[in-house]
Chain A
Amino acid sequence: MSEPIIRFDKVEKSFGAFNVLKDLDFEVAKGEKVTIIGPSGSGKSTVLRILMTLEDVTSGVVYVGGQPLWHEKKGERLVPASEAHLRKMRTQLGMVFQSFNLFPHMTVLRNLTEAPRVVLGLSKVAAKERADELLELVGLTEHAHKFPNQLSGGQQQRVGIARALAMRPKVMLFDEPTSALDPELVGEVLNVIRHLAEAHDLTMLMVTHEMRFAREISDRVCFFDQGRIREQGTPDEIFGNPKEKRTQQFLRAVTEAD
């Protein structure tokens, strides 16, 4: 296997006295679709938030595309990253949030063109072209000039996905993308993500409670528990034949709730 696109090397993360991640080693290969499952408080969202540079690490090193994310090389030593370094690294990642976090004062189109224009320096025309393509991909072409609050939750999340994709990230992070949605709207969002998963070069890392969906689209499933990866493997291994007792308990609990 070539250099992984994401690598956590002995990463610790604590909020005060609470250790969210403990000595985490974790790798994702380029193009791999990885799903993280686990009980709340297990640190699964923190993994995504560290990658998106929304949370720093307490110790350890995170690599993205072979380069340290939260550190910079200074001679032989690694020093904490500057804002300039973080900005450069961030462009490789895109994130879809549980609560969408669309910009409510901007139209759908503007939500999609703002960052490509400001950050990537795209012309107005080029940014709009890119946005139009993505809106078609997520099936929202006719909603381009609406404001987020005029759309359903499912539509908003599809805009959220399109907005992240507009930056052409190498890695897409999905943080419980359907958890805030009414049950009947989950399907349309999952369909869009499923469609993206068919793209071979896009690396996807998703935290979700949609077990059936995780089983269907993932190359690998990681079960997080108490800040560690308790068990990982192919979807069939994890869902069909979990070895760890904690995994079995968790899966039984969530499937009963279904």
Chain B
Amino acid sequence: MSDSTIQHHEESRDVTFRVHRFNPQVDSKPYFDDYTIRLEKGITVLRAINYIKEHVDSSLTFRAFCQAGICGSCAMRINGMSKLACTTQVWDELDKAREPGVIKVEPLRNLPHIKDLVVEMDPLVGKMQKYSNWVDSKMPEEQWGKKEFLVSEEEFLAYDKATDCILCASCVSECTILRAHKEYVSPAVLLKSYRMNVDSRDSIHDQRLAGLVQDHGVWDCTHCYRCQETCVKNIPIMDAIHGIREDAIERRGTKDTSGARHAEAFMEDIEKKGKLVEATLPIRTNGLAWTLKNLLPMAFKMVMKRRTPPPPPLVKASKGIDALRKEFKEMTSHVGKDHEKKSGE
């Protein structure tokens, strides 16, 4: 029987919480404190650190409120993964611990650190404001309270899951691109923008979308799916991000941003050759000047190693390309009919 299985069957045991500590008024750099306490099976990480604060070290600082997975205040990294302390069982974490019996607790990443397990949420709130993530009502103010909006079930289902977000910032903490650039819009903000943009009561859809396609916006997401995988409410965040992209292409066309041009190239090439024509992808995405400046310095090495993608005439079309083209066209007419039907409703 492995160590972890033994742990799982024990009703009570000593557990060590290795907690990230940092008080900027006193400490020159962060450090870890170990707190070992006797716990019973069934206890959550939040109750355990509450116990530490009340009985062992009152200086330990963290945020928490509802203790029921609703308010989103107690998100922190537990054994390296961002999640809610109040819905995380200590015994489950013991199974995942790298060092037997030790659970590592750290603050969220990608947000400024304030003290111990507390991070600054203002940058996230600021981005929610920047992208106007609220319903700006279509209804004239004089009709407020006198008239109702009717929302169809189909429309409600489009944003039902997105409204489950409790703004805990776990996805923000795990985001690859936000880690690489702090200006990036971030997954929670994109999710909220999607939710507002599919709401028929809202009047600023186009303005919000215009902001989302700018630099550090929706096209900078690298499809790593870490946000979706970490979401404490199991919201398919990538569906929302893809939803914004689909909407951007539909409403704004495929020429206005490098992200849209890049995505459109796949569609073009599949119809033409059944294959991606990689050699011209950088030019079609960013233009000739960008390509020369950014890729020419690498090209020499690539040519020497015979690693350059073949020029378009040498990209052999897939076998059966004629059939694929016909099928592609037929589907294009289906999509056209779908759009007519949708706009007729």
Whether chain B is bound by chain A comes out as: no
What residues make up the interface of B, taking CB atoms closer than 8 Å to A?
A: none
What residues make up the interface of A, taking CB atoms closer than 8 Å to B?
A: none
